[in-house]
């Protein structure tokens, strides 16, 4: 299951991601926000991150205006590897090399079409299980 979260700046793009997930029969849980009314992104970053750490969800997608703040907030949760991606190459590389468990995007940075390609790449790219990448992830987490 994919955990979703956004602040007001990412709300509209999150709605487009929800449509993509529904069209592709991908289970998801929306942790908010639920409107374009101003709110604080750390609240939703932590909800999504905690859902992943607890095992309730396997991966997450977080969206704010730039993707920067929401990814920083998510990465404060032990066990989270949130990657800010604004292109498909980065989304593929972070899954293969970092086993990233959260994709962060900026709704004011990427358009809907590209964002959905990034989501597709992130969700459909497996971790490489390469020994050097495992070693580096262990170093990140220690």
Catalytic residues: 64, 97
CA distance 121 to 60: 13
CA distance 10 to 103: 13
* Bridge partners (DSSP) listed for residue 2: 28, 59
Alpha helices in 24-81 (DSSP H): 41-53, 68-74
DSSP, res 26: -
Distances (CA, A) of 15 to 18, 24, 76, 79: 5, 14, 25, 27
Contact 73, 40 (CB under 8 A): no
């Amino acid at each position: 299951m994919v955990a979703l979260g956004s602040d007001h700046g990412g709300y509209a793009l999150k709605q487009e991601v929800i449509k993509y997930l529904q069209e592709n029969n991908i289970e998801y849980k929306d942790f908010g926000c639920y409107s374009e009314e101003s709110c604080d992104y750390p609240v939703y970053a932590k909800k999504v991150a905690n859902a992943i750490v607890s095992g309730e969800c396997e991966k997450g997608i977080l969206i704010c205006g730039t993707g920067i703040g929401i990814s920083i907030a998510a990465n404060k949760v032990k066990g989270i590897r949130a990657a800010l991606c604004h292109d498909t190459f980065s989304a593929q590389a972070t899954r293969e090399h970092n086993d990233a468990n959260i994709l962060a995007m900026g709704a004011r940075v990427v358009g809907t079409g590209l964002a959905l390609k990034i989501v597709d790449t992130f969700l459909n790219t497996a971790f490489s299980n390469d020994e050097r990448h495992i070693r580096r992830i262990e170093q990140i987490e220690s």
